Amino acid sequence: MSHSSKSFTLIEVVVVMGVMGLIMGGILTTMRQVIEGETLLKKMQTVEEETRFIMDAFTQDAEYSELDEGYKPNQDELDIFANTVKFNIVEKKSELGTTGALESKYTYAKSGNDYYIKRVLTRGNDVVNTTLNNTPLQDKPVYRVRLIETPDGSANYFITISYIYRVMIKNEEVLIPVETSAMSRTFVF
């Protein structure tokens, strides 16, 4: 056996290295796409969690409170659009007057070009400000308050909150619109 039959030629080495380079390049490209997909999934999961939190707080306040007079449309308007909405939390009559009325106001805060939904709880001189989202919004949230009369003539208010998340993915802005509604009524305990 000759010595040359046991070794590789320079051409064979170059071809093998080229094929291995193509395989490694394909693997690295696939891994990059997997990582980008996972990053997108994590950002979307964060948006979903924040949305669920905002919707739970907003719906609970809307359903178990009375809409503040300053945010109620009259018979002529039927509906109004605003960037804030305020609720007067309805409590049991036995608790009224003992600690002061509780108000819940949904508004916004601006930081640079980013907007955030704020919930301000007020009872007398006590004020608690809470920012409800970490993912920035494209613009101010919009609240649509619509007057709905029931067959017995009482007034209910159908409130819709609309906002648009701004998520950055690979230096590209992706806008995610969100909208939900709740009914505000007057409860008698």
For residue 59, report the phi and psi dihedrals to the nearest 5 degrees: -65, -40
What local confidence, expressed as pLDDT, does residue 106 receive? 94
Reply yes or no on whether the pLDDT at 187 is more than 50: no
Higher pLDDT, 173 or 93: 173
Question: pLDDT per residue over 143-181, tens digit each?
Answer: 999 888 777 777 788 899 999 999 888 788 889 999 988
Residue 96, in any domain of the structure: yes
pLDDT tens for each residue of 9-27: 888 889 989 999 999 999 9
Tell me whether residue 23 is in a domain. no
- What is the DSSP-derived secondary structure letter of residue 136? P
Q: Whole-prediction pTM value?
A: 0.73
Write b or e for each residue in 148-173: b if 16 or more Cβ atoms lie within 10 A of its Cβ, otherwise e. eeeeeeeeebebebebbbbbeeeeee
Distance, CA of 161 to CA of 87 (rounded, Å): 14
Residue 46 belongs to a domain:
yes
Tell me if 189 is assigned to some domain: no
If pLDDT is split at 50, 70 and 90, which confidence band does 100 have? low
Query: Strand 172-184 and strand 102-111: pairing?
Result: unpaired
Assess if residue 109 is contained within a domain: yes
Domain membership of residue 144 (yes or no) is yes
Structural domain total, the chain: 1
H/E segment holding residue 186 = none
41 falls within a domain: yes
- Most confident by average pLDDT, 67-76, 122-131, 146-155, 177-186: 122-131
Domain span at residue 169? Answer: 32-184
27 falls within a domain = no
pLDDT at 91: 61
Average pLDDT across the chain, whole number: 84
